[in-house]
Chains A and B, each alone.
Chain A
Amino acid sequence: MKTFNFLILISAALVIGLTSCNNQGQKSSGALTANAAERTYIPPGEYDEFYGFLSGGFSGQLSVYGIPSGRLLKVIPVFSQDPEKAYGYNEETKPMLNTTHGFIPWDDTHHPDISQTNGELDGRWVFMNGNNTPRVARIDLETFETAEIIELPNSAGNHSSAFVTENTEYVIAGTRFGIPIPQKDMPIADRKGNFGASFSFLSVDQDNGEMDLSFQIRVPGFDYDLAHPGRGKSHGWYFVTTYNTEEAHTLLEVNASQNDKDFIAAINWKKAEEYIENGDFTTEATEYAHNIYDEHTHTATSTIKKEVRVLDARELPGLVYFLPTPKSPHGCDVDPTGEYIVGNGKLSADLTVHSFSKMLDAIENEKFDGEAYGIPILNFEDVLGGTVVQPGLGPLHTEFDNNGNAYTTFFISSEVVKWKVGTWEILDRKPTYYSVGHLSIPGGNSQKPWGKYMVAMNKITKDRYLPTGPEMNHSAQLYDITGDKMELLLDFPTIGEPHYASMIPADMIMSKSKKIYKLAENEHPHATTNDGDVRIERDGNNVHIYMTMIRSHLNPDNIEGIKVGDKVYFHITNLEQDFDVPHGFAMMGANNSELLIMPGQTETMVWEPKKVGIWPFYCTDFCSALHQEMQGLIRVSPADSDVELSWSLGE
C-alpha cells in the first residue's frame, strides 16, 4: 500500500513537472496571440497581400513568397543551374552563366533590391548580387525570369551589392575583399597598402532595364561589407561599411577586430558623374562578361567586354569621405528621410547613427581627423547623429516602418529591437528563432515603407520544425508591426540561406505577370511555329530536329536515321497558347536535364547518343488526360549505318 501511494506521488510530481515544462515551451515560442493563425491564413483561392523576394544565399537563386501566408510561390533560377527548369542546361540559357572564368554553374546570392522611382519601389525589376564570382543579375517582374547578368571586373566577393539609387539611375555593387588591382602574382603577406577595391556603378536603361558598367570608383584595399544609397536629402550619395581597416591577411577574426573604429565610406556619386563628364577618368583594360536573355528569341547571348572607366578616390578630392564607426560595422542603412545613416557595429554594444547634415557640415568646415590613403576621415563626434544605447548584442541590419520607427536585428542576442528614429529610445524587443541575420519590411529600405509586416531571416533553425537530419532549411519569422509591440505570427522555412528580402504590395506587380509567350512573337532562330515546318536536317554529325509539342503529342514522334556519334539538337516549340500548359521533354540517356517549355516558347536540348537501339522520349509535365501517351521513339543506328533520315507522326 505504501509503495502504491509513493508511486502516485511520483506520477503527480511528473505530471506537474511536465506541465510546467510545457508552459515554458509555449513561452519560448513568443507568447503567440490567440488569432495569429487568422492573420496569416489566406483562404484557398485567395491571394497574399505582398510578394516577398528572398535571396537564396548558397542556393544561388531567388525565391518568391506570399506574405503573410509564408507560402512559397516560385524559385527563380539566377546564378545556379536548375535542372527543373533547364536553366543553365538548355542551349538558350547556358550563356547566362558564362564569365571570364568560363561557365560557372553556381553562386551565392545575397541582396535582392526592387527598382525604384522617386525613392519608392516600382516593381519593374529585382536586382541581386552574386557574391562569389562578382556578378549582378536583373530579374524581370513580368516573366519572373532572370533577364540579365553582368560580371564585375576588379572586384572580389561582391557583397556590398546590389542596391538601387532612388530613380534606379544606378545599381551600385561594392566589393567585399580587397585584392591586387590589376590582379598579379605577389606574396599574400604584402597585402597591406598594395591591395585595392572597387565600387561599380551600373547604369540602368529605364525602358528595358539593361545594365551597363558606367564607371568604377577605386578605393583603398580594405574589406567592405554592406551598403545603402542615400535618398531624399542624401540622394546622390552612397554609404558603405568597411571592416578589416587593419588590412590583415590572416586570422581575420582576431586581426581584423583590433581597431576601435572602422569606417562607413560616404561616396558622392553625383561628384563622380561630374568627374566622368570632365574626362577625369582613366580607361583601363579589363575583361567581364555581359549576358542578356532576349524574351523574343528565348535565347541568351554572352559578350565579353574589354574596358572600364575608373575614378581613383585616392586622387580625386571630394569623391569619398570616411565616417568612423565603432567595431566592424555590418549593415549600413539609411532612414526614409535620408538624414540618418545607421552603422550596425556588429561587435559594438551600442548602435551608432550618423547625421547626413552634420556630415555635410563637417566636410564643408573640414572637420577632419586625419586621412587614410588620401581620403579624409571625418571627426567621429562631428558626424554623430545619435546613439541607441545598449540595444542588444551583435547588431546586423536595420529597416524602417511608416511611423518613424526603426527595427534592428541582433545576431548574438537573437532578437529584433524596435527603436525610435531621432529620440533613439528603445520601444520593444522580441526574440527570434534563432540568430537573426537580416530583416525585411515592405518598402522598408525606401522613402515609402508600407510597414505592416516584418520578416526576420534567421541563420540557425535547430528545433523549429520536424527534424530532417543534420541539414535543414533556414527559418524565417513573420511579425505584425502595426501595433506598439511587435507580434510573432508565423514561422516558415526558406530556400538556401536568405541574406535579405525585398517585399512589395502584390497589386503593384500581379497584373503585369505574363501568362504565356505569344507564338506570333517567337523569334527564336530554331522555332517551329506550325506543324508544316516540322523537319530534321543533317549537317555532318550535327542533326537538328525541329519539333513541336501540343496536347497530346510530340511531332514527329518516330525518328530514324540517327547514328552513334551524332550530336542531336532537339529544337522544340510548345504550340500551346493557354495559361499554365507547359510541356516537358526528356530524352533517355541525355547527359543534362529535361526541358520545361512554356506555351509559345522554344528550347533546345543537346543529346549525343552513345548506344545503338530504340530510345524513348516523353513529355515530363502532366499536361492533359493523354499526357502519358505524349511520347516518341528514336532509332539509333551504328555510326557507319546507311539508314536514311526519316520522321513521322501518326503514320
Chain B
Amino acid sequence: MIIGAALLIGLFVFPLWNIRLGAPQYPDPLGMNIHINKLAGEEEFDIQNIDGLNHYIGMQTLPKEGEMWEFEVFPYVVGIMIGLGILIGILGFLAKVGPGWFLGWFILMSVLGILGVYDFNIWLTDYGSNLDPHAIMKLTHPDGTPMTYKPPLFGYQKMLNFDVYSYPSTGGYMMFVGMALTFVSFFVGRKEWAKN
C-alpha cells in the first residue's frame, strides 16, 4: 500500500500522458508531454512548433503556465492522495485500520482519475473543435460538416497528414502500477486480517 501510493510521487517528475504528432515532413515527431502541472514539449521548441502548425486550421494555442486551473489543482489533489495513501498504509501495517481503507483509497483515486480523464476529454474536445472562424484552412468532411481536430484520448488516429499517438507516459504507468498495488494490497491485507 505504501509503495503503491508512493509510486504516485513519480507524477511530480515524469509526465502523465504523451501525445505525439508524426508526418512525412516530421521524421522526428513533435511531442507534447502532459504533466500534472504543465504541458511541455519533448524537445525544446515542440510546443511552439505544434502551435505554429495548428494556427493554419484555427486551433487555439496550447495553454501556457497559469492558463489552466487544472495545473494549479492537480498537484494538490495528487499530493493529498499520496499522503493519505501512505498514512493508511502505515496505519494498516500497524493494524490500526482494516484493509477496507485500502479499497476505499483505491476507489477514491479511481473516481478522481476518471474525473480527471473526463475533464481532459472536455479540454481536448474544446481544443480540437473550438476553431477560429478566420482560420486559414477550413476543411470539411466529405458530407460537408466542418472537420475538427480533437486528438484521441487514447490510441492512434490519422489527422490530415499527421499520425497522432496518445498514450500514458512514465508518470502515468507509475500511477497505474501504484494503484494496482494498492488494489492487490487490499486482498493481501484482507487475508492477513482474516488470519489475525
Contact = CB atoms under 8 A, between A and B. Distances in A.
Interface in A492-534: 516
B61 interface: no
Interface in B25-68: 28, 44-45, 48-49, 52, 56
Nearest to A599: B45
Contacts of A624: 56
B52 A626 contact: no
Contacts of A626: 56, 136
B48 A577 contact: yes
Interface in A541-581: 550-551, 576-579
Nearest to A520: B44
A625 B56 CA distance: 9
Contacts of A625: 56, 137
Nearest to B27: A45
Given A577-B48, A625-B137, 6 more contacts: A551-B52, A577-B45, A578-B48, A578-B49, A624-B56, A625-B56
Interface band, chain A: 10 to 19
A69 to B, nearest CB: 19
A516 B45 contact: yes
Contacts of B49: 577-578
B52 A578 contact: yes
Contacts of B45: 516, 577-578
18 contacts: A516-B45, A550-B52, A551-B52, A576-B52, A577-B44, A577-B45, A577-B48, A577-B49, A578-B45, A578-B48, A578-B49, A578-B52, A579-B28, A624-B56, A625-B56, A625-B137, A626-B56, A626-B136
B168 to A, nearest CB: 27
Nearest to B25: A580
Main secondary structure of the interface of B (DSSP, over half): mixed
Nearest to A577: B45
A79 to B, nearest CB: 34
Contacts of B28: 579
A282 B45 CA distance: 55
A592 B47 CA distance: 37
Nearest to B136: A626
A521 to B, nearest CB: 12
Nearest to B48: A577
Enumerate the 10 nearest inter-chain pairs by beta-carbon distance, A residue then B residue, closest first.
A577-B45, A578-B49, A577-B48, A551-B52, A578-B45, A626-B136, A578-B52, A577-B49, A625-B56, A550-B52
A439 to B, nearest CB: 35
A383 B48 CA distance: 67
Contacts of B44: 577
Contacts of B137: 625
Contacts of A516: 45
A254 B44 CA distance: 65
Contacts of A577: 44-45, 48-49
A624 B137 CA distance: 13
A576 B55 CA distance: 14
A282 B28 CA distance: 58
A72 B52 CA distance: 31
A625 B28 CA distance: 20
Interface in A571-595: 576-579
A579 B45 CA distance: 10
Contacts of A579: 28
A8 B48 CA distance: 76
Interface string B116-138: 00000000000000000000110
A16 B45 CA distance: 67
Interface string A238-270: 000000000000000000000000000000000
A303 to B, nearest CB: 35
A577 B48 CA distance: 8
A578 B41 CA distance: 13
B118 to A, nearest CB: 34
Contacts of A576: 52
A624 B56 CA distance: 10
A582 B44 CA distance: 18
Nearest to A578: B49
A625 B136 CA distance: 10
A456 B127 CA distance: 59
B137 to A, nearest CB: 8
A276 B52 CA distance: 58
A577 B44 CA distance: 9
B21 to A, nearest CB: 13
Interface in A194-241: none
A629 to B, nearest CB: 9
A485 B156 CA distance: 54
